[in-house]
Structure 1
Amino acid sequence: MRSTQVVLPKSLTHLAQRTEALIAHTESLAQEYDSTNLCIRTWIKDQRSNLERLVAASDFMFEQLLRQPHLLPKLIAANLLHQPLSTGSLRQSLATTLEGCNDETQLAQALRQFRQMHQVRIIWRDLTYQADLTETCRDLSDLADNCIDLTYQWLYTRFCAQYGIPRNIQGQAQHLVVLGMGKLGAYELNLSSDIDLIFAYPETGATDGAKELDNQTFFVRLGQKLIKALDAITVDGFVFRVDMRLRPYGSSGALVFSFAALEQYYQEQGRDWERYAMIKARVVAGDQQAGQQLMELLRPFVYRRYLDFSAIESLRAMKQLIAQEVKRKGMAENIKLGAGGIREVEFIAQMFQLIHGGRDSSLQQRPLLGVLATLETRGYLPSETVTELREGYYFLRYLEHALQAIADQQTQVLPDNPTDQARVALMLGFADWPSLMQQLKHWRDRINAHFQQVIACPKEDTETQALTEPAPRPASQCLTWGEEWLEKDAQQQLHLLGFSQPEAAAQRLKALHQGSQRRSMQNLGRERLDAFIPRLVCRIALQPDPDLVLSRVLPLVEAIARRSAYLVLLTENPGALERLLSLCGASAWIAEQVTRFPLLLDELLNAERLYAPPAAPELAAELNERLMRIPEEDLEQQMEALRHFKLAHSLRVAASEVAGTLPLMKVSDYLTWLAEAILEQVLALAWKHTTARHGQPKRRDGTLCNPDFIIVGYGKLGGIELGHGSDLDLVFIHNGDPNQETDGLKPIDGAQFFIRLGQRIIHLLTTQTASGPLYEVDMRLRPSGAAGLLVSTLSHYAQYQSQEAWTWEHQALVRARPVAGCRELSTAFQLIRNQVLGRARDLSQLAHEVSEMRAKMRTALGTSATHGGTTPEAFQPDHRFHLKHDAGGIVDIEFMVQYATLAWSHQYPELLRYTDNIRILDGLEHTKLLPVASVQALQNAYKAYRAAAHRLSLQRQPGVVAGDQFHHERQSVLRIWHSLGLS
């Protein structure tokens, strides 16, 4: 930031003496402002030191105040120097000024005098520390916006009078659209910026006047006049220097393009530096509505829908060209282009925007400071890094303004004469030039260090930082790859690298090398693949089981080969590559997920986020924020966002599990919280869509439902025990009036409405998109099962559970709970659940029915050798034990918990408080219904079984183990089973 010292150095005293003549001149005019005469004289007295400082520092300020004698009294009288402008006041003032212009000469003079007045105002507020960087840049950008737009409107009116109104073939009037690029587009203009513009118009056509012109010619001529009105230097100076070289084909291209021509150019010929430039593009003048349509057309060119790490290469190449130019022209002292300068901060921010902006719309913004804030809050950069970049950027921009304030010249080069050095130090509040240079060196060093870390070329030695010893060999020594590749050489190299099955590994690599996919790739993609494979093999060789990792990773490489930006991602981020290999070695499920959905590679970039999934409130808030950034009508994008959210967070949970940072019970918690957050949003989307079509349903009292609907989770979802790949057992309940019609344009009765709402929810959850379905859904636990209504009223649900439900349905109800929807209805459901489960039962009858259902399940789903439970053959290694369904397994524990809840909750209602087995068992211990030893044995067995099932799931293996495993746990479970009177 800036220091606050403002002592005028002796070396500038002679310049400060110019203030005397200026004050005398101003006071002599004060009487012309009768009502403010005293005000002006008092102001001069109070502000004398500031006047001296600014006159000594800025030749431009002195010359403007002397050349325009009424300028300072006018600014003082209007109180424009000590308060920010109100919204719209600058535009209104300029519009009034231009109303009196009758020709282009008067227009030019009025624009320039208006600009000089506000330039003086802005410099005064900036250099007296009354305005921060944001206000100064905003004021300068607003000044440019209004000068461009109101000048355009003035010229357009006169052109239409001369040639007629330009129209498209449908007869609609056409306007020019002016795009502001660079600092203007981002509201970041400096004190002496030029303005980079692109001119466009919506459609071809012609004017409707007597002197007909085609629209292209009309707008070219108008554009030329607009440039001249702003850019030409007259006796009054200039308004803004205009640069049109960012338009398609640069200086050799047409001055104005139709929307269609622009879209075609950027789709077919747009270069990487043009993407970089287009990040900050903004409609600054002309037809704003049409301009927004143009911006939507160009958005896909700027922000790719996938991770685009090739942007690093482009920005790196641009930076190298700039560095060469700086060196060639001896511009090392340029605070914009030199090392550690403004451009490096911009490159860092824009690199993340180009890479991630297509997927993370929060990065689709123009102002650099806003982007830095997002990089911090979204976890792309550490807070300490962002703080240094932000503060360094502030310092450089304040310094840039000081350099330009001296003579209103567009410069970012440090002065080499003592007078200007003293001026700059004074404006930034430093005691002398060496003090300023010391601070400047600090910030340039810090910015450059961050720039090198983010954008500099990766080297073999730096790639090993994420690894422990031994370090990998250089990629060139790991594997010969390229057109000269030979399988026999590869086998020998793989053997030396430590592969236990080099022949099989070489065969896999051969299939990739000689496959049609690689042969059909474009040159750039093939070059990236050929550079990546030796690096990859070198890294895989360091894994505990390189053969396994290679077999799991190569399918991913084949999947992403044509989208070589992913190869760049892994090349540019050795830490991400290391995490990928480690996770794939640990879990076949993770390897398969990343292969099916390569967009998950994004999650590997941030280790801190990867191994620390957020808790329930943060999950819900993050998903809500993500969906809020998507237009309400874009259902396809909303569905993709939901799926990507689920995939990303499922990967984070799995990664945390295999890394050992998340215990089993927490894994289930997180997966359940994830499902709940998604279901809440799916319900909201389905409700919004269904009510938009049919209106809202009504309650029995005639009031509107909002929404009087809940999603009840059964099974693993209800029991907070979801695993990887679990489906969702759901039941839908509403409390509306089935017979009253909705209040929309296409009304339907309440029963039909809620059925369609339920169908919509299932559609959103199960539809197969490019990112797969959200969840598989099982609705068979609803009243009457598959033969029943998709959605039940609360009263029908209560009646069914009380009078018609089977015992096994009450067992299922033990693990049922509302997971999304109306709170009041959720409370009513809980009361019904407690009433149904808490009634007194005949224990012998209950034990018989539970045992009978368990026997049926064992016969249907268990392995044949273990139906007898403790028979000797059941514990032999050549037999199999199904962790869930066999005797002594998970389902036995669940059935005991359900039996106990149904048997004793009428006496101990606290057993109904929870729906998960572990806490219900805690309740059975607390009430002394089961001995402590029995509860602990069941809980330990349950956790051990589920942990084993999770491990097998992550390896894409069924939940079956050798018969000699879990011998003690199985016997304990069966002993307790029989002790409860179950058979």
Structure 2
Amino acid sequence: MTTPGRRSSTFTRLLRHGFTDASTSARLLDSPALAPVHTDPVLLDALGATADPDLALLGLVRLVEAQPADDPAERQSLLDTLLAAKPLRDRLLGVLGASEALGDHLARHPRDWQALVTYEAADLHPGVEEFEQGLADATDPVSLRVAYRRCLLSIAARDVCGTTDVAETAAELADLATATLRAALAIARAAAPEDAALCSLAVIAMGKCGGHELNYVSDVDVIFVAEPADGAFGGDGADETKAMQAATRLASHMMRICSETNVEGTIWPVDANLRPEGRNGPLVRTLSSHLAYYQRWAKTWEFQALLKARPVAGDPELGEEYVATLAPLVWQAAERDNFVPDVQKMRRRVVEGIPATEIERELKLGPGGLRDVEFAVQMLQLVHGRADATLRSGSTLEALKALAEGGYVGRADAAQLDDAYRFLRAMEHRIQLYRLRRTHLVPEDEPGLRRLGRSLGLRTDPVAELNRAWKRHASVVRRLHEKLFYRPLLDAVAQLAPGETRLSADAARERLVALGYADPAAALRHLEALASGVTRKAAIQRTLLPVLLGWFADSADPDAGLLGFRKVSDALGKTPWYLRLLRDEGAAAENLARVLSAGRLAPDLLLRAPEAVALLGDPRGLEPRDRDHLEQEILAAVRRSDGAEHAVAVARGVRRRELFRTAAGDLIGSYGTEESPAEADPGALVDRVGNAISDLTAATLAGTLRAVVRAGWGDELPTRFAVIGMGRFGGHELGYGSDADVLLVHEPREGVDEQEASRAANHVVAEMRRLLQLPTADPPLLIDADLRPEGKSGPLVRTLGSYAAYYRRWSHVWESQALLRAEPVAGDADLGRRFVELIDPLRYPAEGLGDDAVREIRRLKARMEAERMPRGADPTLHAKLGRGGLSDVEWAVQLLQLQQGWAEPGLRTTRTREALAAACAAELLSTEDASVLDEAWVLATRVRNAVMLVRGRAGDTFPSDGRELAAVGRYLGYEPGTVGEMIDDYRRITRRARAVVEELFYGAAG
């Protein structure tokens, strides 16, 4: 009799060993079946090591009780062996603790436990032949199921004990399925020998069985191919029909043997729905019929399915011929129209079809599930496997390894995917093993999650650890699936012709000529330098270059694009992230191609700051940074710098990077990419560039000012000092080649002598100009102070009081006009604000301008046009001073500001387009006229920006060189060969603008 104290002690021990139903388990331990061993601690320890100790104990009691009653020695043999042999104990109890279904099998077939006793070398990794031996005695569906479960028992034992890993287990399951299909076909043939004599039938495994990665319970996907048996017919037309009928009967019988349920349950469904025409198509076809279907009618997904096709049963020669015949079609599938988008769309449809109540638990089909890994790998195989036979594996993990070795997937990404896939497959295996049911849903109940977690070796807090690990791996899969499966480069590679995916010398030369490369010999040398050799870097380049060549060719100067790419690649050759970025991240490769082939400025900037390539892979990397952030970065760098020259060099480095960011964003916004089409609003691009360069210039001047003050005076200058932006700088309209027009103002601090303050201010100005003019390969940043009082004859910097005295006594109308664009950009903010207060009455004079002032402005404009237009320049094509160009529009708008700014607050802006819009809103000019002026101003600004981007130096007219002119055209949105249309459009738009200006400017009332 069990005393209460002993019962309590037993309960405590059971709970400590992982049992959850201590009362029931204690009763089972005390049952007669386990009487000889129930006190042995070895047994309790072994049960506690299983996934579900309660389930393992129940299974063991049932197994012992099921031993023949008339043979007590059999029961004793089981118990003695169980305690004496640790390998058997671990295998048997491990299976019983993980699989209720296999426990039921052992209870029905109590001698099958002996299949786990021996553990010879051949047992560790059996193949098809060993499984065929295990099924050899099966002569009917019932005995086949029993033999199948016995073999499955040994696979599960190796799995739960960790003797095999998840990939080996899946391969063993596929081999067992192969042996089972062969045994089922043999039974079907024996039942209908007359049908077997009429045809040769081959069974082609598809899906996970074909890929050697089967689950415990899964549909076994197959396709049947048959031919009339040699010598079975006399040769009339009915022979093939009779053979197909016979083959269909054999195939149908074979499927029923595996799929139907009898007293021993079922094995698994055999699914032939991947065949041509699916359920609506004939179950069996001849090889020629299969070929005709795939050549004419097959959909993209059907070729994806054929990736895993493998002959497994029936006529081996016919099966091999089937695979060999269809393989070329599989590796041509990526060339189909919309191949990549079609596969992506199919994956999205699968996710959309998952019930909302299940999607969070769906291990296979849901986001971050197994199918995400498989689809990404298969897509990469189909695209790159056309030219690289090493990728043509039916196994997901083998293919992933080959993709990593070939440089198509990053090593770290591949390792993470491999790890996640193995974990998720292990979860799937253990979920299915429990009741041998086809499911991919993670349990919701606590006991189910606990058993699953423990089966995977998670013992401290199985449920919490399982959920954390599952979510972590699913997150990795989801992230990498998005990265690889929706990789823009993939679609571009898929669109290449087969011969274009490998850069053999002859094929490459022909393609270079066809793409319009002017110097194919030089281009071939670049390709050889980039892609030759067996290094991983060369392998990735061989993946990138065929696509990049096409993108370079979609520009005015593909040779320059390829040369720039080689220079950047040489500069970043030892940088591990560079090629990985181009291969994996967003539209980085296409963005780089656009930037390198669009002109000289952006590539020159990039070659001096090659690490800026990283900006091209960041979805927000090409968005300009605002002035505050730029100024903070530059000022922080100045504080860390050793001396003013070093500080300004650092500031120039920031400027170089940010100029590249702006230029790259401008080019890509103008050209567009597959992922980001060209922006429809040229005005928005102009505003973005003008704001970005103006903010960058202001931040650079702020940093230079701080560096000079810090070097000469430490924390504080003896006088307050402010930089006032003028012209395009003050109007936030700087272009890539613009000087920084400024006024410089200071005011002595309290207690500081005015002469000392003046000396300090002049030193600051001189030093800033010196530092900014130090030799550099970057675009220059020149401080131009010619708009100051008295022009070049006047002092570079004045006090606020001096400005006030000058403007009160000597100011000219042109100075009032120039001050319309004055805005503080750097230095003392309060001093800048007071300067603006000082000049507002001059630039927005009460009651507007008198007639004399208006006549003076008109006279000045006429003089400027006559004196400053370059000799020989075409006035219809000069973007700054020409007819309907920048000067025309700006002077007309500024005249309105001088006349009406006192009455219309909207006109009190330094920005041309804002003032134009305000004048339209105030009905000072019509909507149509405002639109005409705005269009011309934007176009002229873009022409100047384009010239700088293309030539690398500033210019106000269209280039005369044909390639440069074509590049300007591409930037402005014109297709190759339409530069004449571009010139005509420019003249038409500016002619209309000139007409509006003449009416507005010269016809305006005094």
Q: What range is the shorter-chain TM-score in?
A: 0.3 to 0.5
* Structure index of larger Rg: 2
TM-score, scaled relative to structure 1:
0.47
